[in-house]
Structure 1
Amino acid sequence: MYLQVAKQIEEAIFMNGFSEGDQVPSTTEISRQFHINPATVLKGMNILVSEEIIEKHRGLGMFVKKNAQERIRMKRQNEFFDDYVSGMVVEAQKLKLTEKQLIEMIERGYEKNE
């Protein structure tokens, strides 16, 4: 559950729901809204603190850090590589596709989805 909290806040930041310097809702607000334990919410928020996406301002709450959106983008690009690209390359090698053939397939995919 705490991972879902972290992902939802991260997604809101990434999609411009919160900008740099904006205060994110408090653990109490989130726990009341979604009917979950405040400790669970805090655990999710602490993930984002450790990833330097939000920061605690003592007595004031949690705020979106400078360059948070770029940090999220870089994190997601790395996850995309690990989750999709690496496996795709392994499968392409099994199919005996050349790098050029794989790139052509990717380009075709981009053209198809424009």
Structure 2
Amino acid sequence: MITVNLYYTGTNGAARKFAEEMEKSGTADKIRAEKGNFRYEYFFSMKDPETVLLIDAWEDQAAIDAHHASPMMKSIAELRNKYDLHMRVERFVSEDLPVGDEGFIRK
């Protein structure tokens, strides 16, 4: 699994308005329904009210590539421009926990 953390930053609550419009418009639900999507969820920072975190997880690079090639990306780009957002991205590839680490995970 590949997890991408996207930090959207704007001014005057723009990042939060962007996330709210993504949800209300149904765009976020369409992305969640795409083949290979495991997670698409927004989080709001308690420390920085002008930044919203999107955690976006995919089965593999092919699923991400298909998403990026979809017509939905044009809508997302238009919304980012509408709210004048800037982005920072982190990317993680999941792996099994090393033996012994399970003892530190409370389920």
Q: How high is the TM-score relative to the length of structure 2?
A: 0.29
Give the TM-score, by structure 1 length. Answer: 0.28
Larger radius of gyration: 1
Higher strand share: 2
Higher RCO (C-alpha 8 Å, min separation 6) = 2
